[in-house]
Chain A
Amino acid sequence: MSKMHVKLTVNGKQVEGLAEPRTLLIHFLREDLKITGPHIGCETSHCGACTVDIDGKSVKSCTTFVAQVNGADVTTVEGLTNDDGSLGVLQEMFREHHGLQCGFCTPGMITRAHRLLQENPNPTEEEIRFGMAGNLCRCTGYQNIVKAISASADMLNAQKEAAE
């Protein structure tokens, strides 16, 4: 199969490469672009460890061909830091509230939580749990993940208020 020319924006930077159409986005990110934040967990679109943000949608990159997202704007957990490279609010709150144990699910959790808070800046605990249902933590540390997301919402809202 011939390779196709792929052009994407990843974490704000234009990237280009050659890839077979069958290449899954997760493999293109990790192996071609060396962006290893998104993880390969179940490979069956259940666990959410591979979640990235594509044009404002949370997507499991193990179940997406790079050909389908040619031309799209992709954000991974690496793109959620502050401009100076320090931890972004969600990243900081996951650290602060021990929202991880082994950490394998964390990049997917944070990337999904980012979109959830964009769409619903004041989620209830139930809305957080429902909105995070596509991400599994096998350490089962869900309590602290929910706390971290809730604290992030508070902090982001406070920042927004201060800026206004």
Chain B
Amino acid sequence: MIPAGFEYHRPGDIASAIGILQEHGDEARVIAGGHSLIPMMKLRMAEMGHLVDLQAIDELKGIEVGAESVTLGAMVTQHELITHEGLASAIPLIRDAALQIADPQVRYMGTVGGNVANGDPGNDMPGLMQCLDATFELKGPDGTRNVAARDFYEAAYFTAREDEEILTRISIPIPGAGVGQAYEKQKRKIGDYATAAAAVLVGNGKASVAMTNLSDTPIWSAEASNALAGGDVDGSVSAMLDAIDPVADNRGPVDFKKHVAAVMLRRAIGRAQTRAG
């Protein structure tokens, strides 16, 4: 399994990386940890003339925990998310979810930016970021703009990011005291994508509910969130089941996926409620 050839670039700052993307257009792609892209390249399902490695760009690194929000550089790895104590006390949900992604080796390489930017419906971080109401910072030839995670996903592998833009940072409001957080994921084996996964915040009269791998985008539901905020668990689950649109595949038929979705969501709600102040 040998990928097609490419020219390799390792720019040291964002402006240079954008410059390479501009120069080569469709022929260029960025690579973060590479654990989604390289398997696709080995299968020759992805080919590009120019590979732009983001590892040397310091601006894309680092976790900052502020009083009201957390900022994650796009190149922060899942391993760093798991081992950062400040992050775990500010938003424990992120560690809970990251521990359920892939396996240790993949988590050393896989990045949060790659996970959210790739647009793979199977990835865990997009639904999580919608639940947390995160904002993605994009930099491109025309400058910097911010897009809400809830507005970012258009279809499988299609997002609001333009070809010449790079997702640089993710900022996340800290849910704060009194808000319970939980992530529940059903998978066939360790390392697998979710059959269904649910991210839940609940407390202080508010709630947020999102699910993963049950449609061609992550699903955050305002109806399900509002119902849960009002204490109506059954209403929340039924609103979410109306919002998702799973398809039959090797993880099971549609009815099974809806069943698992309801089980995961109820478990996540229950666990988040017990953690709420």
Contact = CB atoms under 8 A, between A and B. Distances in A.
Interface string B97-119: 00000111110110000000000
Interface centre among B35, B38, B39, B103 (most CB of A within 10 A): B103
A68 B1 contact: no
Contacts of B1: 43
Contacts of A67: 8, 10, 51, 53
B95 interface: no
Given A43-B1, A65-B38, A58 B104 contact: yes
Nearest to A70: B10
A44 interface: yes
A57 interface: yes
Given A59-B109, A67-B53, A44 B39 contact: yes
A1 B48 CA distance: 12
Given A57-B109, A68-B55, A45 B6 contact: no
A133 B108 contact: no
Contacts of A41: none
Contacts of B169: none
B5 interface: yes
Interface string A1-28: 1101000000000000000111010010
A131 B3 CA distance: 30
Given A65-B34, A67-B53, A112 B104 contact: yes
A134 B103 contact: yes
A112 B105 contact: yes
A152 interface: no
Contacts of A1: 5-7
A133 B187 CA distance: 14
Interface residues of B, number: 29
Contacts of A45: 35, 38-39, 105-106
A76 to B, nearest CB: 14
B80 to A, nearest CB: 10
A2 to B, nearest CB: 8
B4 interface: yes
Among B38, B41, B79, the most chain A Cβ lie within 10 Å of the Cβ of B38
Contacts of B191: 46, 133-134
Interface string A109-135: 000100010000000000000011110
A63 interface: yes
B106 A22 contact: no
A57 B79 contact: yes
A37 interface: no
B105 A21 contact: no
Contacts of B51: 21, 65, 67
B248 interface: no
A94 to B, nearest CB: 19
Contacts of A43: 1, 42
A65 B38 CA distance: 8
A64 interface: yes
Contacts of B5: 1, 20-22
Contact of A21 (B7, B102, B108): B7
Interface of B: 1-8, 10, 31, 34-35, 38-39, 41-42, 51, 53, 55, 79, 102-106, 108-109, 190-191
Interface of A: 1-2, 4, 20-22, 24, 27, 43-46, 48, 51, 57-60, 63-65, 67-68, 70, 112, 116, 131-134
The 10 tightest CB contacts between A and B, nearest first, are: A134-B103, A1-B5, A21-B8, A57-B108, A134-B105, A67-B8, A133-B190, A133-B103, A58-B105, A60-B105
